[in-house]
Amino acid sequence: MTICAIYARVSDESQLRGDSLQHQIAYCREHARRRSLEEGAPWTTPEDFVYVDEGITGTSMVRRPAVQRLLMDARRHQFDVVLFKGISRFARDTVDALVMLRALMASGVRVLSMEENFDSARDSAEFIFTIHSALAQAESEKTAIRVRVGAAQKARLGQWNGQPPDGYILDVHSKHLVVDETVALTIRDIFAMYLEGYGVRKIAEALNQAGRYTKRGCLWTQRHVSRVLRNPVYQGDVVYGRREKRLVVPDASNPLSRRKRAVYVADSDQLTVCQDAHPGIVPREVFLQVQARLQRQRVSSGPTGNQQWLTKGLLRCTCGSRMTITYNRAGTAYYRCARRRERGASACQSGHIRALALEQAVLSQVRKDLLELIPFERLTCQKLPEHDTQRELRNLHAALERQFAKSQKLFDEYTDGILEREQYERLNQEIQRRIRALEQAKEKLHAVLQKDNQVVDAGELARQTLVNHLSKQTPNPHLTKEILALFVDRVQVCKGVGQHREIAIHYRFHCPF
């Protein structure tokens, strides 16, 4: 009996083609049934081995839970064959696809793709697979372009693509936006409050406290408010192409950490704009005033120097949220709870902490712990056994002495008339050559000895490096950051009064503290 696993995945394009998960799974099941008939042996497709990937966009392929389970079960030899409808369903692009194929084949699993009639049990499977998957990738790129061109065309006519934003509903017939008065009030208030001088955090807080939630019934966040303020849809325009997905590799040492990230397009030439496509929720002047103020805020948001915030990303608030850096008007840096910044004081009670003091505390604590923990004395380099070198040197000296003596004897024999001048010169030449070789060897040994004496205590060097780099007057902030990241998993800020708060450092290694 052949046990088959099924892998199904929906991508942006497969939804467009009406290629649902159920369809993909049914397709694979039917294929397995046919195989059973052909081979006269059953191919079963147990429900447990159907791996469904609902296309979490933005995550790297190999990190997806369904893929992880598939690969793990393959390693445990839970099934013999993996079926999927087509290579474009198998992976997002050629690199991902090939990584998956190799991982599965290494586990002894046979890989079958129905549409391409691909079978990894055949010769040059990898080669054929790569070609199919490159073609699939090209096809998917073509589709993406088609979709984009179509959407831009709709936008040019003032029609809306996708979900309507807060404050609007979509007229399904005309594909134009219609104002949703219940939420439009909130949107107007957001713009008004911002112009009155409220910050985005304060606005989110005020709305949440008043029980005025987003269209989906969620709490307003700082980011959400900020997006509303920047969205030209509210002055009556349809602007297509403001956000674009780009492939990024967050971790340079791991090419498989690739994922897609949405970025805002800065170049206005790339945007498709239709002015007055629908009724605006705020007047154009208001929208422009808000954009001008947003621009000013951006300029005054903290000093941008070469200052490095050492523990950024490592810090955790008492509530467990990340902490991010903010600046007051005087340019002093503070760490604040990210959750509180986003959702207001109702989400977290913790106050801000002076960045400089906190970082110094973290550095000195890590320094103290590491100095105590690392057995630097045991890192001490074993020096080359010196006496060996010395003995070799003594031997060389003796050999040289012998050659000198020989040379002297030869000269005596020549002066005594025992040797002819010609004989003497020939023999002496040989001796002089040996002397030169020996002297060169002696020089080399001397150099080795010299270096030997300069060998520094490696343990002491490592200790010094740590002390130097884990301090505020660090010679290289990047290195300090790296050292911290290497040893420290996170720094938990504990409850305390005002600036006097305790920190707990969680190391990446098992540690007795």
Q: CB of 198: closest distance to Zn ion in angstroms?
A: 21
Q: What are phi and psi of 367, to 5 degrees?
A: -60, -50
Query: 3-state class of 415 per DSSP?
Result: helix
Among 114, 95, 88, 105, smallest CA distance to 35 is for 114
* Other C-beta atoms lying within 10 Å of the C-beta of residue 264: 9
Q: CB of 340: closest distance to Zn ion in angstroms?
A: 5
Task: Considering the complex, state which of residue 52 and residue 325 has its C-beta at the smaller distance from Zn ion.
Answer: 325
Burial of 268 (0-12, 13-18, 19+ CB in 10 A): exposed
Among 276, 273, 249, 279, smallest CA distance to 261 is for 249
Q: CB of 492: closest distance to Zn ion in angstroms?
A: 11
Task: Considering the complex, state which of residue 345 and residue 371 has its C-beta at the smaller distance from Zn ion.
Answer: 345
- The b-or-e profile of 329-345 (16+ CB within 10 A means b, else e) is eeeebbbbbbbbbbbbe
Cα separation, 493 vs 501, whole angstroms: 7
Q: What are phi and psi of 482, to 5 degrees?
A: -65, -40
Q: CB of 319: closest distance to Zn ion in angstroms?
A: 3
- The b-or-e profile of 276-315 (16+ CB within 10 A means b, else e) is ebbebbbeeebbeebeeeeeeeeeeeeeeeeeebbbbebb
Task: Considering the complex, state which of residue 348 and residue 361 has its C-beta at the smaller distance from Zn ion.
Answer: 348
Please name the residue that has the structure tokens 């422009």.
288
Q: CB of 324: closest distance to Zn ion in angstroms?
A: 11
Could you list the residues that contact Zn ion (CB under 5 A)? 317, 319, 321, 337, 339, 348, 350
Task: Considering the complex, state which of residue 116 and residue 205 has its C-beta at the smaller distance from Zn ion.
Answer: 205
Cα separation, 297 vs 383, whole angstroms: 60
Q: CB of 223: closest distance to Zn ion in angstroms?
A: 16
Task: Considering the complex, state which of residue 70 and residue 317 has its C-beta at the smaller distance from Zn ion.
Answer: 317
Task: Considering the complex, state which of residue 336 and residue 469 has its C-beta at the smaller distance from Zn ion.
Answer: 336
Cα separation, 204 vs 304, whole angstroms: 27
Task: Considering the complex, state which of residue 87 and residue 348 has its C-beta at the smaller distance from Zn ion.
Answer: 348
Cα separation, 356 vs 310, whole angstroms: 10
Task: Considering the complex, state which of residue 289 and residue 324 has its C-beta at the smaller distance from Zn ion.
Answer: 324
Q: CB of 490: closest distance to Zn ion in angstroms?
A: 14
Q: CB of 83: closest distance to Zn ion in angstroms?
A: 47
Q: CB of 337: closest distance to Zn ion in angstroms?
A: 3
Query: 3-state class of 109 per DSSP?
Result: coil
Task: Considering the complex, state which of residue 405 and residue 504 has its C-beta at the smaller distance from Zn ion.
Answer: 504
CB 7 within 8 A of CB 70: yes
Task: Considering the complex, state which of residue 204 and residue 229 has its C-beta at the smaller distance from Zn ion.
Answer: 204
Please name the residue that has the structure tokens 């949440």.
208
Q: CB of 315: closest distance to Zn ion in angstroms?
A: 11
The first and second tokens of residue 272, run together, are 């498709």
Task: Considering the complex, state which of residue 310 and residue 348 has its C-beta at the smaller distance from Zn ion.
Answer: 348
Q: CB of 467: closest distance to Zn ion in angstroms?
A: 33
Task: Considering the complex, state which of residue 315 and residue 488 has its C-beta at the smaller distance from Zn ion.
Answer: 315
Please name the residue that has the structure tokens 């969205």.
231
**C-alpha R_g of the chain:** 36
Q: CB of 323: closest distance to Zn ion in angstroms?
A: 8
Burial of 127 (0-12, 13-18, 19+ CB in 10 A): exposed
- Which residues are within 8 A (CB) of 513 and not within 5 positions of it... i.e. 6 or more apart? 369, 505, 507
